[in-house]
């Protein structure tokens, strides 16, 4: 049985449980941005898993998209994902400026900004005070004071 949830990136219904994915990067003004999306295994395999790479101590950093040397000037994007009941995965990607912009544009097309509540579900109902609750139950809130 497939998931009821559609992939945030491609819009297809996931064949399995979607992968919760957090993206983060620092803007040029020094502000960290955080985004969240649920994506399918196919999108994760094509856009997230290739970012996972371990660099040896003296190995130079390279852009995961084009392979140019970014050791002295990179634009990092960090990804954390949770695939079903498996372990957490992490990727730190030292993109060149051009490909960092392309990747961020891809993320901004579907992911929810977690730094604000735009796009987040609202409360199910307005909260009630204790006295309003007692009145709704037919009780006098002043009894017993």
Kindly give the confidence (pLDDT) of every residue in the chain, 145 residues in length, as a single tens digit, with 9 standing for 90 and above: 567 888 999 999 887 889 999 999 999 898 999 999 999 999 999 999 999 998 888 999 999 999 999 999 999 999 999 987 778 999 999 999 999 999 999 999 999 999 875 555 555 556 677 778 778 888 887 876 6
Q: What is the pLDDT of residue 145?
A: 62
Residue 120's CB is within 10 A of a number of other CB atoms, namely 10
Burial grade of 43 (CB within 10 A; 0-12, 13-18, 19 or more):
buried
- Dist CA 133 CA 113 (whole Å): 35
């Amino acid at each position: 049985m497939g998931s009821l949830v559609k992939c945030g990136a491609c819009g297809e219904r996931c064949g399995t449980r979607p992968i919760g994915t957090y993206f983060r990067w620092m803007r040029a003004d020094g502000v960290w941005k955080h985004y969240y999306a649920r994506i399918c295994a196919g999108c994760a395999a094509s856009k997230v898993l290739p970012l996972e790479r371990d660099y040896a101590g003296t190995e130079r950093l390279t852009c995961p998209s084009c392979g140019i040397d970014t050791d002295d000037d990179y634009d990092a994007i960090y990804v954390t994902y949770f695939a079903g009941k498996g372990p957490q995965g992490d990727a730190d990607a030292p993109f060149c400026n051009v490909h960092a912009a392309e990747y961020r544009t891809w993320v901004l097309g579907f992911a929810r900004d977690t730094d604000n509540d735009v796009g987040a579900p609202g409360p199910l109902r307005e909260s009630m005070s204790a006295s309003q609750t007692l009145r709704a139950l037919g009780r006098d809130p002043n009894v017993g004071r």
